[in-house]
Amino acid sequence: MKVYTKTGDRGTTALFGGTRVPKNHIRIESYGTVDELNSYIGLIRDQEINPLYKNVLIEIQDRLFTVGAILATDPEKAILKNGKERLNIPKISEEDIALLEHEIDRMEESLPPMTHFVLPGGHTTVSYCHIARCVCRRAERISVQLNEVEVVEESVLRYLNRLSDYLFVLARKLTFDLQAEEVKWIPKKQ
């Protein structure tokens, strides 16, 4: 498989199913942001962190490829007229979402309760988590916007929402594990 095809030289790209769209199409923006998120998660995984977190992050990266494939598919080309799937695109399952919820609950068991918002930072690895969380929220917002014009599978929206929660809790857990300072945001009084 060649890396360059020259088919996008005029500012268009093909979705799964063959439909060509401009490279600035909201669908391209949605899965491009998921790809960006996946890269940041790889950066977190490359840090000196607990192997359990690394294994969960690998699973998340795999699921983000699935999310990207779903978002890169023209919904009109995905289903045949008889209702059967034309393209063999994997799905995001309830188990995928449950894994994130389980990991959030597990990490929160050892964390002090949150009483304030926290400022991102304290350690480079923690900061990477917060960047990934922000990119995940952007991917979610763009996917919601896409859903207003073309249907996006609800499981994708739910997964992105839960993933941003997971990344926030992972940032707090890494702050705790690394004995970094968690700085609370306390608004200044006027």
Using a 10 angstrom Cβ sphere, with 0-12 exposed, 13-18 middle and 19 or more buried, the burial of residue 43 is middle
Give pTM, 2 decimals: 0.89
pLDDT at 83: 56
Of the two residues 4 and 112, the one the predictor is more confident about is 112
152/144 Cα distance (integer angstroms): 8
CB atoms within 10 A of CB 64: 23
pLDDT at 31: 94
Block residue for tokens 């964390």: 111
- Give the pLDDT band of residue 76 (cuts 50, 70, 90): confident
Answer positive or negative: Cα dihedral of 114, 120, 59, 176: negative
Domains of the chain in sequence order: 20-74+92-111+123-177 (1.20.1200.10)
